[in-house]
Structure 1
Amino acid sequence: MITLLLVCIPLYLVSLFMNQASSRTVEKDISESTQSHLQFYVNSLEAEMNHLSKMKKDFLLDDDVQNLSTIAPAMNDYEIAKSILRVENRLTVLKESSVYVREAKIYIPLLNHTIYSSSYEAAMNEQEFRFISDHADKLPVFYFKPDDRLLMSQIYPDPLSEGRSPTFALEIDLSIGKIRDILSQISSDKGEVLLVSNDGEWSVYENPTDPAAKMVSSDLLRNKEIAASGERLVKIGNLPYFVFYQSSSVLNATIACYLPEQEIMGPLHTYRLWFWALSILSIFIILLSSYWTYSVIHRPLVQMVQAFRRVQKGDLAISIEHRWEDEFGYLYAQFNKMADRLSTLIQEVYEQKIRNQRAELKQLQAQINPHFLYNSFFILYRMARVQDHDNIARMTRHLSEYFQFVARSAADEVPLEREVSHARAYAEIQSFRFRTQLSIEFGELPESCRSVAVPRLILQPVLENAFQYGLEQREKDGLLRVAFREEGDGTVLTVEDNGEMLTEADLTGLQALLQPQTSDLETTGLLNVHRRLQMKFGDQGGLSLSRSELGGLRVDIHIPIARGEGHVSDFAGR
């Protein structure tokens, strides 16, 4: 290490000396070049402002402007129109005489209208008229804050007599965009340029979003006693900046170009040559030490990380080997034991989940509500008494379909179409019971998801919950709606009612019920359906509860669909 330092230090000292010498030369050249650009721009801008000042004063002696502003009531419409047209032409000449002019206009209080270079419009805003009247004889250029505009103006008479209002006011709206374009032309690739008034009233930045621009502008305003031109080193944040500036008495403003000191001092050719020589030497030394570090530490770590990633993806059959009996050898051996143990535990948990799922399904199938049976047979009895043979036939068909689906337990999964058909049969049976109390709207299942394999009994328990807790107490105008829609890579089954008994506390309790619970919690009804869907589809499947637009409970059953997978073609006993 000491030998390395003895070799590198002299080399760096030489490169430092050469870098400093080159820096002074580059700094001087850049300073002179930048000052020359700034002076040229200042002269050009002053010439433009002097030209505009001369043209605006010419309007003081313009016959048409004088006539319109003093004797317009004595003129006929034709004379007024001709005079306005000539004034518009002169304003157009003024506007087109300079790239910095965005618009020119004259407001004539006697006419209560404003003449533009290409139009004749309503009166000038009172605030704007008062503002330019107050500033016309004070500053060559001033800032009108409400509209964010730079203005030049001329009023007549100039100056105003005590208590007398202007007979007309000329306003020249300067284009901030054009000024900014000129600023961008004189800036270097690494620097930025700004123009700021000496009183701080207005400023134009080449890059308005650059936070350094405002800080440079503030520094120039704080140091008004500095020379009319020169350069300064200003620290902005943690970075030093070179600031080159030129002041203009005609504009009452200062133009400045600023750029980071590093951009001037950094790119030096001689320094680069020494830098590359030192870099090659450093790289050679680094490669030697890096190769040793890679062989002893990095490569074993990479191998272990890759093994962990494979485990993360579910590959628990992986085993990694190490040649030496060191710390990594111990870690590798423990990793292999961990992977074997994880594989065993996952298999045990998976088998337990399958057993639990089947047990819960059988439990749900066994939970045939005796009231449902009693009510169904009583309804059949009443229809038989009145010899309503058609409805008896319909109801017995739905009952047979219902009990055929519930009693058959050979398959854990069924096509979604079959599950929906069973739920529809249950809804039809209930419609006989609640014929005068409610109506049922049952949507059509999309063709694309009819063969998707789903756990048995996921829709009918949700309908049963709606009848029992949402609609049973309603005496009339009850509504149960079942809808289906495709959403992303899945299907959503929506069951909602207009029951009146659901409070916010009840809804919050039901939503909390679907959160992860302990394994010994009784799983019936909505929770049973939710857990079986999550065991089948993961976190993307399950139930979500909310308040329906109808007023009651809304249950959304989310069924993810892996395209091309998870379809069944038949159902046992169909």
Structure 2
Amino acid sequence: MLPIITFGVFLYGWILQTTSEDISKNAVSQIKFYLTDFANEIERLKLLQYGLLEDEDLNEIVFTWKTMDNIGRMDKINMLSKRLSMVQNSSMYIKEVSVHIGPISKSVSSLTGVGQFDAEKYDGIRPVYGAGSQIIDWNDGLYLSALKQSTTEGNRPLFIIDIELDTKKLGEALNQFNTYTGSGTLLISGKSDFVLASGSTVYMKQAALDLVRGLGQASIETSHTYELSGNRYYMANANSKSLNMSIYRFIPEQIIHKPLNKIYAWAWLLAAATFVFIALYAISTYKVIHKPLLLLMRSFKRLENGDLNLVIEHGTKDEFGYLYGRFNQMVDTLRNLINQVYKQKIMAQRAELKQLQSQINPHFLFNSFFILSTMAKNRGLGANRVIYEAAW
């Protein structure tokens, strides 16, 4: 049974490892799929943003603002606002679309309409490299920013178009990964380390961030557990180079162990039943085989020591019952043979003694008569008198 128990322990460990790897791989594939889908959405938003850069109404506002009358200006602003609203409504991830126009010192928003030029935001979300669009972290928000350069070198851009991503919607999207009780998800964006947490990581955001930074992207293994705020978690991660974003999923260790609790309980039950079976088997083996065999061996030793008054009994009619019967029969036969040989030997000795006696008696009698005859002659007595005295 020991190999079976050992195999059971190995099988349990293998199932636990396989289950954790499967859950981790599934978690990684889910977040990779989400990042790919999100990256495609961002690319679509970039195309819309590039389209706004060439919008006729926007460019007319920039270049002909001073020559327009108030009605023309209002008409162009309204058309631009509608276009911004259309872009905003095209995706659930867009919170607001704004255009910051430097030459006229105006900012147009899809939510608030025309407002004063927001110089702080203009400088904060200004793209670093040329006219390319990229995700920028500013003031706890994420922005897609694109600009149109001035024709005069060294001047500020003519205008900047920014699309503010809705972090609330992003958080709701991250919640879809928190399918297990106590699990959490962490999104880290770019070099600015913009962090968005959902699920249990909301309450341990800094601890999770410190863990990720401490491990590094290359050293994270999804099949291992990591301690976080006193609990152990399996961590799955995926990153997108195009978005410069990474998502980390934290799955409690007990979630993976929970489906195996029944197997664990059955394993203990099987182990207990196995030990009971082994004990019963050992006891039954002792009673059925070892004990009768030991009695037979002791009986042979007593027989070797000359004990012929030996009878052994067995309660059941099995193989040992047959052996015990043959043993008793052997002892009885041996006892009878010994008795026969002993009696024959005694009878032979008696016969030999009688034979010797029969040989000794005539010789002794002749010698006696010869002595008596000699004594009678020496004493001058009569033979009859001498015989009589001798007999007396």
Tell me, in whole angstroms, the C-alpha distance in 2 between the residues paired with 1:244 and 1:261.
Answer: 12
Unmatched segments (≥5 aa) in structure 2? 274-392
SS of the aligned residue for 1:71 comes to helix
| TM-score of the aligned structures, taking structure 2 as reference length | 0.61
- Residues 117 and 21 (structure 1), Cα distance of their counterparts in 2 relative to 1, 3 Å cut: same
Q: In 1, are the aligned partners of 2:94 and 2:166 still within 8 Å (CA)?
A: yes
Tell me, in whole angstroms, the C-alpha distance in 2 between the residues paired with 1:226 and 1:139.
Answer: 28
Q: Does 1:155 align with 2:147?
A: yes
Question: In structure 1, what residue type is equivalent to 2:227?
Answer: K
Tell me, in whole angstroms, the C-alpha distance in 2 between the residues paired with 1:228 and 1:141.
Answer: 25
Question: In structure 2, what residue type is equivalent to 1:219?
Answer: L
Match of 2:159 in 1: 168
SS of the aligned residue for 2:40 comes to helix
In the alignment, which of 117, 134, 137 is matched to residue 140 of structure 1? Answer: 134
Residue 124 of structure 1, CA deviation: 3.6
Q: In 2, are the aligned partners of 1:141 and 1:150 still within 8 Å (CA)?
A: yes
Match of 2:191 in 1: 199
In the alignment, which of 34, 48, 73 is matched to residue 41 of structure 2? Answer: 48
Q: Does 1:210 align with 2:202?
A: yes
Tell me, in whole angstroms, the C-alpha distance in 1 between the residues paired with 2:190 and 2:220.
Answer: 11
CA deviation profile, 1:107-159 (whole Å, cap 9, x unmatched): 222332221224423224322111112557587212212xx22211112118x
Q: In 1, are the aligned partners of 2:136 and 2:144 still within 8 Å (CA)?
A: yes
Tell me, in whole angstroms, the C-alpha distance in 2 between the residues paired with 1:99 and 1:194.
Answer: 20
Tell me, in whole angstroms, the C-alpha distance in 1 between the residues paired with 2:220 and 2:254.
Answer: 26
Tell me, in whole angstroms, the C-alpha distance in 1 between the residues paired with 2:78 and 2:214.
Answer: 48
- Residues 68 and 33 (structure 1), Cα distance of their counterparts in 2 relative to 1, 3 Å cut: same
Q: In 2, are the aligned partners of 1:64 and 1:87 still within 8 Å (CA)?
A: yes
Tell me, in whole angstroms, the C-alpha distance in 2 between the residues paired with 1:113 and 1:208.
Answer: 42
Unmatched segments (≥5 aa) in structure 1? 1-8, 281-574
Alignment of 1:229-244 (within 5 A): 233-244=225-236
Match of 2:28 in 1: 35
Tell me, in whole angstroms, the C-alpha distance in 1 between the residues paired with 2:19 and 2:94.
Answer: 38
Q: Does 1:249 align with 2:241?
A: yes
Residue 219 of structure 1, CA deviation: 3.4
- Residues 101 and 29 (structure 1), Cα distance of their counterparts in 2 relative to 1, 3 Å cut: same
- Residues 104 and 16 (structure 1), Cα distance of their counterparts in 2 relative to 1, 3 Å cut: same
SS of the aligned residue for 1:59 comes to helix
Coordinate RMSD, CA, aligned: 3.4
SS of the aligned residue for 2:125 comes to helix
CA deviation profile, 1:434-484 (whole Å, cap 9, x unmatched): xxxxxxxxxxxxxxxxxxxxxxxxxxxxxxxxxxxxxxxxxxxxxxxxxxx
CA deviation profile, 1:536-564 (whole Å, cap 9, x unmatched): xxxxxxxxxxxxxxxxxxxxxxxxxxxxx
Tell me, in whole angstroms, the C-alpha distance in 2 between the residues paired with 1:252 and 1:59.
Answer: 24
| TM-score of the aligned structures, taking structure 1 as reference length | 0.43
Question: In structure 1, what residue type is equivalent to 2:102?
Answer: P
Q: In 1, are the aligned partners of 2:96 and 2:164 still within 8 Å (CA)?
A: yes
- Residues 224 and 60 (structure 1), Cα distance of their counterparts in 2 relative to 1, 3 Å cut: farther
In the alignment, which of 89, 93, 96 is matched to residue 82 of structure 2? Answer: 89
In the alignment, which of 240, 252, 257 is matched to residue 265 of structure 1? Answer: 257
Q: In 2, are the aligned partners of 1:193 and 1:255 still within 8 Å (CA)?
A: yes
Tell me, in whole angstroms, the C-alpha distance in 1 between the residues paired with 2:268 and 2:133.
Answer: 54
Tell me, in whole angstroms, the C-alpha distance in 2 between the residues paired with 1:209 and 1:194.
Answer: 7
Q: In 2, are the aligned partners of 1:229 and 1:247 still within 8 Å (CA)?
A: no
SS of the aligned residue for 2:134 comes to coil
Question: In structure 2, what residue type is equivalent to 1:54?
Answer: L
Q: In 1, are the aligned partners of 2:137 and 2:192 still within 8 Å (CA)?
A: no
Q: Does 1:98 align with 2:91?
A: yes
Alignment of 1:293-442 (within 5 A): none
- Residues 230 and 76 (structure 1), Cα distance of their counterparts in 2 relative to 1, 3 Å cut: farther
Residue 274 of structure 1, CA deviation: 3.1
Match of 1:432 in 2: none
Residue 19 of structure 1, CA deviation: 2.8
CA deviation profile, 1:344-390 (whole Å, cap 9, x unmatched): xxxxxxxxxxxxxxxxxxxxxxxxxxxxxxxxxxxxxxxxxxxxxxx
SS of the aligned residue for 1:58 comes to helix
Alignment of 1:108-127 (within 5 A): 108-127=101-120
In the alignment, which of 178, 185, 190 is matched to residue 169 of structure 2? Answer: 178
Question: In structure 2, what residue type is equivalent to 1:35?
Answer: V
Match of 1:220 in 2: 212
Match of 1:129 in 2: 122
Residue 15 of structure 1, CA deviation: 6.3
**Which of 1 and 2 has greater Rg?**
2
Residue 255 of structure 1, CA deviation: 1.2
Alignment of 1:268-287 (within 5 A): 268=260, 269-275=262-268
Of structures 1 and 2, the one with the larger relative CO (CA 8 A, separation 6+) is 2
CA deviation profile, 1:53-76 (whole Å, cap 9, x unmatched): 111111121111111122200112
Question: In structure 1, what residue type is equivalent to 2:13?
Answer: Q
Instruction: Return the structure number with greater helix share.
Output: 2
Tell me, in whole angstroms, the C-alpha distance in 2 between the residues paired with 1:103 and 1:203.
Answer: 20
Alignment of 1:524-543 (within 5 A): none
Q: In 2, are the aligned partners of 1:228 and 1:246 still within 8 Å (CA)?
A: no
Residue 81 of structure 1, CA deviation: 1.6
Q: In 1, are the aligned partners of 2:147 and 2:160 still within 8 Å (CA)?
A: yes
Q: State the percentage of identical aligned residues.
A: 20
Q: In 2, are the aligned partners of 1:140 and 1:252 still within 8 Å (CA)?
A: no
Tell me, in whole angstroms, the C-alpha distance in 2 between the residues paired with 1:79 and 1:208.
Answer: 53
Q: In 1, are the aligned partners of 2:201 and 2:208 still within 8 Å (CA)?
A: no
Tell me, in whole angstroms, the C-alpha distance in 2 between the residues paired with 1:264 and 1:208.
Answer: 17
Question: In structure 2, what residue type is equivalent to 1:226?
Answer: A
Tell me, in whole angstroms, the C-alpha distance in 1 between the residues paired with 2:16 and 2:213.
Answer: 29
Tell me, in whole angstroms, the C-alpha distance in 2 between the residues paired with 1:200 and 1:11.
Answer: 56
Q: In 2, are the aligned partners of 1:112 and 1:122 still within 8 Å (CA)?
A: no
- Residues 19 and 252 (structure 1), Cα distance of their counterparts in 2 relative to 1, 3 Å cut: same
